[in-house]
């Protein structure tokens, strides 16, 4: 055997090994199988010239399809991935399926795909006085499964999509009306009328402040109830509210009371009486209470920060004249130093809530609450000139001295009168 022949044999052997390795490693995962699909009508007869669509999800999460048209014997061959989950449906002007046929773990096999002639139904919804009802929700159901749904138009009508011909249950619901159901036969072009009746049920509400544990009743105020068909504001009586409301409605309910946030809650009312709890909390506020409203300069006073429930707030930030001076302790308190005479504005903040400012007056040892001049320590408002006169030119005794002088003169006069007597 010469060298060239040995080389050829070696190449062939390597190619064979490579092919076997590929098939063993991953070739099976990409193997296609053929589904032999037989399309039959409602009588079981084969149906030709119908386009069949196979759909599956590939390994790359992309949706793949294969299509084919049935022959006169109703059969079509579709290649799909082995072991894939495949949905089979049709696209045809005469025949239809309400939902695809699912084939689990596809393999070389025969599959029967039943189809039906298509039809439609137009459902007209009226009330007990034969008035058309727009925006009513219509469901066409096959057993427990909804095959089509939508809402009535301004004329009270809903036109279905194409469906398999047969008998269905039509369910109609509209806020303020009792639910109505009726059997409807879908034919080539069917028409049906469904009547719905207005109705109300009792809605009982109990009102609580859930800031507390357990929640405490809110005994006064009002409850606001709103929806697309009903709106009312009802007074709370000893924590309770009872009212008649339209059926099959979702309501927005909130507490209306001074000092409380209007936080709406959603309550769904069907066709039976409903009892529900409504909760609310006071609007978040902070208040600052100083231990003293007048404080000697250089001394401290304790301020207390409380929330809307008059509870001490721990960790609230306290500022004096815009400068942070500390945080409150677990009793809601902080010692605040007053380092200058005059009005000092104190504000507390907790999260997004800031208190109204309060004023603490710094007072000098001589009782003066006015701020002093840094240069000479004198009071700007009482400053005198070199001649001893005040800014307005009057003698520099001041008001108090003048009053004392008058009282002294009066006393001397009285003494003289007594001496003369």
Whether residue 242 sits in one domain with residue 267: yes
* Residue 390 confidence (pLDDT) above 50: no
Whether residue 276 sits in one domain with residue 204: yes
- The count of domains in the chain is 4
| Strand pairing class (300-307; 333-337) | antiparallel
Q: Of residues 291 and 386, which shows the higher confidence score?
A: 291
- For residue 360, CA distances in Å to 298, 300, 334, 344 come to 13, 11, 14, 5
**Residue 184 near residue 255 (C-beta atoms within 8 A):** no
Structural domain that includes position 345: 286-363
Whether residue 204 sits in one domain with residue 269: yes
Is residue 240 very low, low, confident or very high in pLDDT (cuts 50, 70, 90)? very high
Whether residue 158 sits in one domain with residue 205: no
* Residue 10 confidence (pLDDT) above 70: no
- Bond prior to 8 in cis (omega within 30° of 0): no
Going by C-alpha positions, the residue among 333, 327, 329 that lies closest to residue 301 is: 333
Residue 189 lies in a domain: yes
Residue 411 lies in a domain: no
Domain boundary, last residue among 239, 264, 280? 280
- For residue 145, CA distances in Å to 10, 117, 159, 344 come to 64, 20, 18, 73
Average pLDDT, the chain: 86
Residue 386 lies in a domain: no
Whether residue 122 sits in one domain with residue 110: no
Task: Report the alpha-carbon distance of residue 160 to residue 154 in Å, rounded.
Answer: 16
Query: What pLDDT is attached to residue 371?
Result: 59
Query: What pLDDT is attached to residue 263?
Result: 86
Residue 398 lies in a domain: no
Domain boundary, last residue among 195, 210, 230? 195
Going by C-alpha positions, the residue among 40, 39, 52, 35 that lies closest to residue 109 is: 35
Going by C-alpha positions, the residue among 379, 302, 301 that lies closest to residue 341 is: 379
Task: Report the alpha-carbon distance of residue 306 to residue 283 in Å, rounded.
Answer: 13
Whether residue 102 sits in one domain with residue 50: yes
Whether residue 334 sits in one domain with residue 299: yes
Query: What pLDDT is attached to residue 406?
Result: 43
Whether residue 207 sits in one domain with residue 274: yes
Domain boundary, last residue among 63, 89, 114? 114
Lowest mean pLDDT among 72-86, 227-241, 243-257, 400-414: 400-414
Please compute the mean of the pLDDT values over residues 223-233 and round it to a whole number: 96
Backbone angles phi, psi at 106, to 5 degrees: -55, 140
Whether residue 75 sits in one domain with residue 58: yes
CATH number at residue 139: 2.60.40.1120
Per residue in 69-94, pLDDT tens? 999 999 999 999 999 999 999 999 99
Task: Report the alpha-carbon distance of residue 89 to residue 95 in Å, rounded.
Answer: 11
Whether residue 108 sits in one domain with residue 36: yes
Whether residue 229 sits in one domain with residue 161: no
CATH number at residue 100: 2.60.40.10
- For residue 6, CA distances in Å to 2, 12, 80, 180 come to 6, 10, 42, 86
* Residue 411 confidence (pLDDT) above 70: no
Task: Report the alpha-carbon distance of residue 183 to residue 38 in Å, rounded.
Answer: 32
Backbone angles phi, psi at 138, to 5 degrees: -115, 130
Lowest mean pLDDT among 12-26, 261-275, 326-340: 12-26
Whether residue 293 sits in one domain with residue 268: no
Going by C-alpha positions, the residue among 111, 118, 108 that lies closest to residue 74 is: 111
Residue 405 lies in a domain: no
**Residue 13 near residue 5 (C-beta atoms within 8 A):** no
Task: Report the alpha-carbon distance of residue 371 to residue 369 in Å, rounded.
Answer: 7
- The residues near 72 (Cβ < 8 Å, ≥ 6 apart) are 46, 48, 49
Residue 44 lies in a domain: yes
Residue 85 lies in a domain: yes
Residue 412 lies in a domain: no
* Residue 405 confidence (pLDDT) above 90: no
Task: Report the alpha-carbon distance of residue 303 to residue 292 in Å, rounded.
Answer: 8
């Amino acid at each position: 055997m010469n060298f060239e022949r040995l080389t050829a044999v070696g190449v062939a052997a390597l190619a064979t090994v490579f092919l076997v390795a590929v098939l063993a490693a991953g070739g099976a995962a990409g193997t296609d199988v053929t589904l032999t699909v037989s399309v039959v009508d409602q009588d079981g007869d084969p149906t030709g010239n119908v386009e069949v669509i196979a759909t599956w999800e590939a390994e790359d999460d992309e949706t793949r399809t294969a299509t084919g048209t049935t022959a006169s014997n109703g059969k079509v061959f579709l290649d799909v991935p082995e072991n894939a989950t495949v949905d089979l449906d049709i696209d045809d002007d005469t025949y239809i399926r309400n939902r695809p046929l699912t084939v689990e773990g596809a393999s070389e096999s025969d599959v029967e795909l039943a189809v039906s002639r298509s039809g439609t139904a137009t459902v007209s919804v009226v009330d007990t006085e034969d008035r058309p009802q727009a925006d009513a929700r219509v469901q066409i159901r096959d057993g427990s499964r909804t095959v089509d749904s939508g809402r009535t138009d301004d004329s009270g009508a809903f036109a279905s999509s194409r469906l398999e011909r047969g008998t269905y249950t039509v369910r109609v619901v509209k806020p303020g009306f009792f639910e109505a159901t009726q059997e409807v036969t879908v034919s080539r072009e069917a028409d049906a009328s469904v009547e719905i009746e207005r109705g109300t049920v009792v809605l009982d509400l109990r009102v609580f402040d859930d800031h507390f544990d357990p929640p405490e009743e809110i005994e006064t105020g009002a409850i606001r109830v709103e929806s697309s068909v009903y709106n009312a504001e009802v007074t709370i009586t000893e924590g309770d509210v009872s009212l008649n409301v339209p059926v099959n409605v979702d309501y927005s309910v909130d507490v209306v009371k001074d000092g409380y946030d209007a936080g709406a809650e959603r309550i769904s009312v069907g066709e039976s009486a409903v009892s529900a709890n409504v909760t609310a909390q006071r609007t978040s506020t902070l208040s600052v209470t100083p231990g003293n409203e007048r404080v000697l300069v250089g001394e401290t006073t304790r301020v207390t920060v409380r929330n809307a429930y008059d509870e001490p707030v721990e960790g609230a930030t306290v500022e004096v004249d815009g400068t942070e001076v500390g945080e409150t302790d677990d009793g809601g308190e902080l010692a605040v130093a007053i380092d200058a005479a005059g009005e000092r504005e104190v504000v507390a903040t907790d999260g997004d809530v800031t208190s109204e400012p309060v004023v603490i007056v710094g007072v000098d040892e001589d009782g003066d609450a006015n701020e002093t001049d840094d240069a000479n320590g004198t009071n700007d408002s009482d400053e005198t000139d070199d001649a001893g006169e005040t800014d307005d030119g009057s003698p520099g005794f001041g008001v108090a001295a003048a009053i004392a002088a008058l009282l002294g003169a009066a006393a001397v006069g009285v003494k003289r009168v007594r001496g003369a007597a």
